[in-house]
């Protein structure tokens, strides 16, 4: 298993000029790791909707890669998005799922996939062009170039360690809300240049 922050650091090093749409725990972690907040669209509290938002952006901005950072619990709230994404088949869409098998933001309850259900297989069966799963940081670091060189839609399941400290999550939310409101004008400027 990987630490979320380490996996997100790897992703940030390879994102180039991709637009990133993080949600839930991914939003909290990404805000602390991103080196280009001007290209981030923070969907912090929209559990289950980041992939749909990312799909719309990918269809509108076909000249840029769009990376969605989803959680396993968040994805499970909107499984229909997998079929919609597959049907629309955006070649610039990269769906990263932080799979810790718990609802971390709401207190650490187990997610339905904690009983051995495969998110990677769900993406494959839904029709994503390629699917990957990484549970070791070294393998993810070695494989990220292949992931981002693939024609989308691509789903990447990242097996990460469980983090469910409510006080820490609240503190991170408070720190990151300011970053979320500041990123909107920066994103508009970046997309218009």
Instruction: Specify whether the CB–CB gap between 2 and 159 falls below 8 A.
Output: yes
Q: How far apart are CA 185 and CA 38, in angstroms?
A: 8
Cα separation, 126 vs 121, whole angstroms: 8
112-152 pLDDT tens trace: 666 677 889 999 999 999 999 999 999 999 999 999 999 99
**pLDDT above 60 (res 25):** yes
Give the residue numbers spanning the domain of 63. Answer: 4-192
Tally of domains in the chain: 1
CATH number of the domain within which 87 lies? 3.40.50.970
**pTM, to two decimals:** 0.82
Residue 32: pLDDT band (50, 70, 90) is confident
- Distance, CA of 41 to CA of 20 (rounded, Å): 6
Rounded-to-integer distance, Cα 88 and Cα 124, Å: 15
> Which helix (DSSP H) or strand (DSSP E) does residue 188 occupy?
helix 166-192
Mean pLDDT within 30-48: 78
């Amino acid at each position: 298993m990987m630490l979320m922050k380490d996996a997100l650091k790897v992703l940030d090093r390879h994102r180039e000029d991709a637009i990133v749409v993080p949600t839930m725990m991914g939003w909290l972690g990404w805000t602390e790791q991103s080196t280009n907040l001007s290209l981030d669209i923070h969907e912090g509290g929209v559990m289950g909707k980041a992939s749909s938002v990312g799909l719309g952006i990918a269809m509108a901005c076909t000249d840029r890669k769009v990376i969605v950072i989803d959680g396993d619990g968040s994805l499970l709230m909107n499984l229909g998005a997998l079929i919609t994404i597959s049907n629309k088949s955006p070649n610039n869409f990269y769906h990263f799922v932080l799979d810790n098998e718990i609802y971390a933001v709401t207190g650490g309850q187990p997610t339905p996939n904690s009983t051995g259900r495969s998110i990677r297989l769900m993406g494959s069966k839904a029709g994503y062009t390629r699917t990957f799963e990484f549970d070791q940081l070294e393998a993810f670091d070695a494989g990220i170039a292949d992931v981002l060189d693939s024609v989308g839609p691509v789903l990447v399941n990242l097996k990460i360690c469980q983090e469910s400290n409510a006080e820490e999550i609240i503190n991170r939310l408070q720190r990151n809300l300011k970053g979320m409101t500041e990123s909107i004008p920066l994103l508009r400027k970046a997309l218009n240049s």
